[in-house]
Amino acid sequence: MDLIAEFKRGSPFSDISYSQAGVEDVIPVYEKMGAKWISILFSEQWSGSISDIALANQISETPLLAKGILKNLEELEELKEAGADAILLISGYNLEFYEKAIQLGLVPFVEVHTIQEAQELQPQFEYVVVNARDLQTGEIDLSTHKRILPYLEAASYKVAASGLQRDSVVAGYDAILVGTSLMKEANSVKEGFS
């Protein structure tokens, strides 16, 4: 199972700050762990920055997934210029950027949270992320991954996200996206991971 390891300085669902660990500290460790993708939270409201993607691009060969609240096409272009290889788009929020992302050479990962959203996925959405977190309440229900899986037949790359550890295995999925548990570890032990 592939690991998508996430770098973030803050979280939309927590007041926790991961200020002790920088891109230059964390990304090389993620590479040593064998991460297939590195997700970087770029939204400024959670202390992220497009410059984090640019720095990661300078020090890493691992593909970079830009994750955050995408505001407009200009920001999408800035993410591409900074070195992003992929962009996370959220069902019901910003799927209008899907075609433009492809035109720019970005791989669009489409995130869903409910069976209804999964049922509305278009056949061309190959990379699908199932987020077990309810974006309204912030609560995590890990059974979401199993419930939504039957509706992802068209997806060629299925990613389970939220509430997972780096050694988690989620049946039927190709990858797991892990952020909070890795960043907590990185923040407390800046020299590396156990």
Nearest to 14 by CA among 130, 188, 168, 180: 180
DSSP summary character for residue 151: G
Question: What is the model's pTM?
Answer: 0.91
Residue 114 lies in a domain: yes
Per-residue pLDDT, 133:
92
Residue 193 lies in a domain: no
Both tokens of 38, joined, read 């590195």
**19 confidence band (pLDDT: 50, 70, 90):** low
- Type and span of the H or E element at 187: helix 180-188
Residue 76 lies in a domain: yes
Could you give the number of structural domains in the chain?
Answer: 1
pLDDT tens per residue, range 132-190: 998 888 899 999 999 999 999 999 999 999 999 988 999 999 999 998 888 877 655 45
Q: Pinpoint the alpha helices (H) of 20-151.
A: 23-32, 50-59, 73-82, 98-103, 115-119, 143-148
- Measured CA to CA, the distance from residue 144 to residue 133 in angstroms comes to 8
Residue 10 lies in a domain: yes
Residue 41 lies in a domain: yes
- Measured CA to CA, the distance from residue 129 to residue 178 in angstroms comes to 12
Both tokens of 162, joined, read 């939220």
Q: What percent of the chain has pLDDT over 70?
A: 90
Beta strands 157-161; 175-178: pairing state: parallel
Residue 42 lies in a domain: yes
Give the domain extent around 140: 2-188
CATH number at residue 181: 3.20.20.70
Q: Pinpoint the alpha helices (H) of 46-127.
A: 50-59, 73-82, 98-103, 115-119
Rama region for 34: left / alpha / beta (φ>0; ψ in -120 to 50; rest): left
**pLDDT surpasses 50 at 54:** yes
The chain-wide mean pLDDT, for the chain, equals 90
The 10 Å Cβ neighbour count of residue 40 is 31
pLDDT tens per residue, range 170-185: 999 999 999 888 887 7
Alpha carbons within 13 A on the beta-carbon side of 52: 28
Residue 88 lies in a domain: yes
DSSP summary character for residue 24: H
Identify the residue with better confidence: 123 or 176: 176
Residue 149 lies in a domain: yes
Per-residue pLDDT, 20:
66
**pLDDT surpasses 60 at 83:** yes
pLDDT winner (highest mean) among 8-12, 15-19, 150-154, 185-189 = 150-154
